[in-house]
Amino acid sequence: MRGPLLLGALASLASCTALPSPRNSDGTHAQVIILGGGIAGISLARSLITEHNITDILLVEARDELGGRAHTETLYSNATGQSVTVEKGCNWIQGPGKEPILELAKKWGLKTAPQNYSDVSWFQGLGIEADGARGHFLDDAEQEEFMAGYDNFLENAPGYSTWRQNNSLVDLSVRVATSIMDWIPVNPLQLAYEYWNIDYTFAQPPEISSFENAFAQEAGIAEEQDDFVVDQRGYKYLFVQEARELFGQELDDPRLRLSTTVKTIDWSAAESGGDIVVHTDCGSFSAPHVVSTFSVGVLQHQDVHFTPRLPDWKKEAIFTFGMATYQKIFLLFDEMFWGDEQYVVYADPDQRGRYAVWQNINAPGFFPQNTTNNIIMVTATDTFARRNEELSDDEIQGEAFAVLQEMYGADIPQPADILVPRWTLDPLYRGSYSNWPLGALDQHHANLGQPLGGGSSWLHFTGEAMSADSFGYVQGAWDEGINTAGVIAECLSGKCPAAEAFEALTTCAQTGTALARRGPATRRGHGRRARGVRR
């Protein structure tokens, strides 16, 4: 269906490009091997080379292009022959500590549009049983009725969080916190409003997300402007351009190993100072410093094997943290039959979050209007999204189209194309981004990023999820790449940090420390956490 993608599909078949290495006889040994060419991998390579003059590196990536979860796809209309590029993964510059990404966007002239979450229409739907009957769009008075209670909660949440921290009270789920503060959603509109405010950000329901570590920190920056990337070169352009500065315009530097899938990481010799060996479908590579940038989902799913197996404290950390599913379904139409507002929220009477959040990609200032490329995007999360991943594109199109017909009338045109991402089925990602669930302690999170090894040989873990301040975001990945480069540079200059994991988390660990993190007030500013010495 996606005609223009054929080239990409063919290219990905080409594998194991046997490139000569300028640095050693066979190109299989380096000082640092980076596993994964997403944002963290690129940021790490950039920092090693340009900030620390560490150039003897290899970067191994399974796909035939860089960017990882910064990933574009093409929608194509057979009738008009027109195509348009959309973001299958990250799309907004948003969240705590986004300043470095705003700087990159400025540097590379990335085109964005300001997202206005007040520019929204609300539709009270009849759901799956509608059978041709239609619900209705709400007027202003109807809207305020169901929003007030949640808005009160949101306003008070940061203060309540700080108060709980001040008093060393344990973490709560977002659901318990909303309930204590008297937000008890019952009707479909309240549930849709809550879904839009909570699940649409964390991609997990309030019963799972941590109040202190996920929700309260976001609430503190709720008023900031989010920028939606509308650049046809894609969000990934920022990171691919940074990589071109390192590896050449054509990205043909032999230190870059695309189309190479890691199978096993053998770190058995690391504790005694021996090299770590990475086995791939294109041969084996070794280095004293190997860095995994794989998602928590990949680590949880054990798509990559570790020899010896990871210690229990590491596994406890990996399986305690959350990997969410956030699915952006794009529908392309040859004509625009919807309004100019940026959002429409559909309140399903039976199922919270069923085709709830619709976004108009052709709102004024976004994609061009009055063309034959008109896109509406609907987002699904968590169990509903994972259920969708198992269905065919045609089945999803049928369901989504029925909701559009209920909102806009039976005679709207059929979509010209549809994109249904399947992040959780993809063995390279196993989900969309990480989330901090209730029950994960600070020490769990520290253990997640804790390197393994000894002396001068270390297996590092970095990427989006390792950021305590900006997990789940682009800047989390970018910052962690820089932090890990700093740790490696120190070690290579003879000051390897002493490793000290929290090997046994006892019930005492929950007292105080789990809530000793920065509150919303401090997180508001520049988010890069001085990680200091890795234990």
Ligand X SMILES: *[C@@H]1O[C@H](CO)[C@@H](O)[C@H](O)[C@H]1NC(C)=O
- Interface with ligand FAD by CB under 6 A: which range of 243-251, 363-371, 472-480, 490-498? 472-480
Contacts with 493 (C-beta within 8 Å, 6 or more apart), sequence order? none
Site for ligand FAD in 41-60 (CB under 6 A): 41, 60
What is the rounded distance in angstroms from the CA atom of residue 34 to the CA atom of residue 290? 6
Contacts with 387 (C-beta within 8 Å, 6 or more apart), sequence order? none
Q: Quick check: 193 binds ligand FAD (CB under 6 A)? A: no
CB of 442 to ligand X, least distance (A): 19
Contacts with 33 (C-beta within 8 Å, 6 or more apart), sequence order? 57, 58, 59, 60, 276, 278, 285, 286, 287, 289, 290, 291
Q: Quick check: 296 binds ligand FAD (CB under 6 A)? A: no
Q: Quick check: 262 binds ligand FAD (CB under 6 A)? A: yes
| Eight-state DSSP code of residue 469 | T
Among 291, 428, 482, 485, binds ligand FAD (CB under 6 A): 428
CB of 248 to ligand FAD, least distance (A): 19
Among 211, 346, 433, 458, binds ligand FAD (CB under 6 A): 433
Other C-beta atoms closer than 10 Å to the C-beta of 120 total 17
CB of 500 to ligand X, least distance (A): 30
Which residues are at the interface with ligand X (CB under 6 A)?
Answer: 1, 53, 78, 116, 118-119, 159, 162-163, 166, 369-370
- Interface with ligand FAD by CB under 6 A: which range of 131-139, 240-248, 467-475, 488-496? 467-475
CB of 166 to ligand X, least distance (A): 4
CB of 494 to ligand X, least distance (A): 15
- Interface with ligand FAD by CB under 6 A: which range of 85-93, 145-153, 247-255, 364-372? 85-93
What is the rounded distance in angstroms from the CA atom of residue 514 to the CA atom of residue 516? 6
CB of 242 to ligand X, least distance (A): 19
CB of 63 to ligand FAD, least distance (A): 5
Nearest to 490 by CA among 47, 41, 36, 100: 47
What is the rounded distance in angstroms from the CA atom of residue 53 to the CA atom of residue 489? 9
Q: Quick check: 293 binds ligand FAD (CB under 6 A)? A: yes
Amino acid at residue number 243: A
Q: Quick check: 300 binds ligand FAD (CB under 6 A)? A: no
- Interface with ligand FAD by CB under 6 A: which range of 23-31, 204-212, 473-481, 494-502? 473-481
Among 94, 286, 362, 388, binds ligand FAD (CB under 6 A): 94
Residue (426 or 490) nearer to ligand FAD, CB:
426
- For residue 162, the partner it binds in ligand FAD, ligand X, none, with Cβ less than 5 to 8 A by kind, is ligand X
Contacts with 151 (C-beta within 8 Å, 6 or more apart), sequence order? none
**227: Cα within 13 Å, side-chain hemisphere:** 17
Nearest to 417 by CA among 387, 390, 396, 391: 396
Nearest to 500 by CA among 459, 454, 461: 454
Nearest to 322 by CA among 219, 218, 152, 208: 208
What is the rounded distance in angstroms from the CA atom of residue 268 to the CA atom of residue 261? 20
- For residue 40, the partner it binds in ligand FAD, ligand X, none, with Cβ less than 5 to 8 A by kind, is ligand FAD
Among 72, 73, 84, 89, binds ligand FAD (CB under 6 A): 89
Q: Is 219 exposed, middle or buried (0-12, 13-18, 19+ CB in 10 A)?
A: buried
Among 247, 355, 423, 461, binds ligand FAD (CB under 6 A): 423
Considering only CA atoms, give the Rg of the chain: 24
Q: Quick check: 256 binds ligand FAD (CB under 6 A)? A: no
Residue (48 or 138) nearer to ligand FAD, CB:
48
What is the rounded distance in angstroms from the CA atom of residue 400 to the CA atom of residue 330? 10
Q: Quick check: 438 binds ligand FAD (CB under 6 A)? A: no
Residues binding ligand FAD (CB under 6 A): 35-41, 60-63, 68-70, 89-92, 94-95, 261-262, 293-295, 298, 303-304, 326, 328, 423, 428-429, 432-433, 463-464, 472-474, 476-477
